[in-house]
Amino acid sequence: MQNDIYLYSIYILIAGLLGGLLPFIKKWSDELLHLFLSFGAGIFIGTVFLHLLPEAYAHSDHSSTPLFVLIGFMTIFLIERFLFIKGDGGYDHSHLVVSITAMVGLSVHSIIEGLGLAVGYQFKDIGSLILISILAHKSTAAFALASLFLLAKLSRKKIFLMILLFAAMTPIGAIMFSLSITEINHEALEPLLGLTSGTFLYVAVGELLPEVFHTESNRWFKLVLLILGITIMSFLGHGH
């Protein structure tokens, strides 16, 4: 089983890199980038409502989960609106803090995915289903994350390093948990999942959607891509 974890970790790393490289293999126009971001917003919204929140409720008594979601949401709102201003330099600091926040939230979820992969391989046939779900989620999430970093006008080298770090989170989680954890404290996941849900929710509705729909051009196509992103996430199993 341990050898399988190592092999599938390589698959996951490659899937993340491929998804993250796609948005910056060439110079994209702002309008085309907004189309990517519309799809990415659907990925984030789908992740929150179809994956993170159900997981948070599954690992809690339900009473405190909304509070953690609210704390996560308001923390990012306050950081963006009061600690960061739009500068005159090479990139928009507001977009930068949101993109980094998205990466942190996605990385937390990725580590938990690694936990799911490690646990799933304790049971016959479940691990393969989890792997398929993670591969699909990792590639689409990396795509959305790279699009965010492009909007923040980071250099391609920095974007690649960020995507590489993000892509490595699930393999790190899978290997770490498979080596060291035999019993999982599910209650400890509730605050983490709630906070992550709140940060994802702000990224989606507080930053991505206003950015995508602030112009009238291609608004119906953007809406279709938004719904497509949500729909894709609805077909991806939790796997953990």
- pLDDT, averaged per 10 consecutive residues of the chain (240 residues), comes to 79 92 75 82 85 76 82 83 53 68 80 74 62 78 85 85 93 83 57 79 84 85 94 71
According to the 3-state scheme, what is the secondary structure of 136-178?
HHHHHHHHHHHHHHHHCCCCHHHHHHHHHHHHHHHHHHHHHHH
Q: What pLDDT was estimated at residue 91?
A: 44
CA separation (Å) from 135 to 76, 138, 236?
28, 5, 10
Distance, in Å, from the CA atom of 162 to the CA atom of 224, rounded to the nearest integer, reads 28
Domain ranges of the chain: 2-22+30-235
Distance, in Å, from the CA atom of 21 to the CA atom of 106, rounded to the nearest integer, reads 17
Q: Reduced to 3 DSSP states, what percent helix, strand and coil does the chain have, rounded to the nearest 5?
A: 80, 0, 20
Q: What pLDDT was estimated at residue 85?
A: 47
Q: What pLDDT was estimated at residue 18?
A: 92
Q: What pLDDT was estimated at residue 151?
A: 80
Q: What pLDDT was estimated at residue 87?
A: 46
